[in-house]
Structure 1
Amino acid sequence: MTPELAALAAALLVQMATLALMAVVANRELGPRVTLSPRDPPLPPLSSRLGRNLRAVSNGFEGLVLFAPAVLLVHFTGQSTALTQIAAWVYVLARLLYLPAYVLGLVPWRSLLWAAGFFATLILILSALI
Structure 2
Amino acid sequence: MQTEIMILAAGAMLLFVHIIIPSTLKTRQYGIDWNTGPRDETMPPLNPVIARLARAQANFQETFPIAIVALIGVVVTGRESDLSAIGGWIWLAARLLYLPLYAFGVEKIRSIVFLVSLVGLGLVLYALVFG
Q: 1:62-107 CA distances to partner (integer Å, 9 max, x unpaired)? A: 1111110011111111111111111111111111111100010111
Provide the identity percentage.
Answer: 28
Structure 1 residue runs without a partner (length 5+): none
Residue 22 of structure 2 corresponds to residue 28 of structure 1: no
Match of 2:110 in 1: 110
Aligned residues: CA RMSD = 1.1
State the one-letter code of the partner of 2:114. Answer: W
Provide the C-alpha distance between the structure 1 equivalents of 2:4 and 2:117, rounded to a whole number of angstroms: 14
TM-score normalised by structure 1 residue count: 0.94
The DSSP-based 3-state class of the residue aligned with 2:40 is: coil
- SS class of match (1:35): helix
How big is the shift at 1:120?
0.8
| Runs of 4+ with >2 A deviation | none
The separation in 1 between residues aligned to 2:80 and 2:73, in whole angstroms, is: 10
State the aligned residue count. Answer: 130
Map of 1:19 onto structure 2: 19
Deviations 1:24-69 (A, max 9, x none): 2112211112122211122322111111111111111111111100
Match runs of 1:23-62 below 5 Å? 23-62=23-62
Structure 2 regions of 5+ residues with no counterpart?
A: none
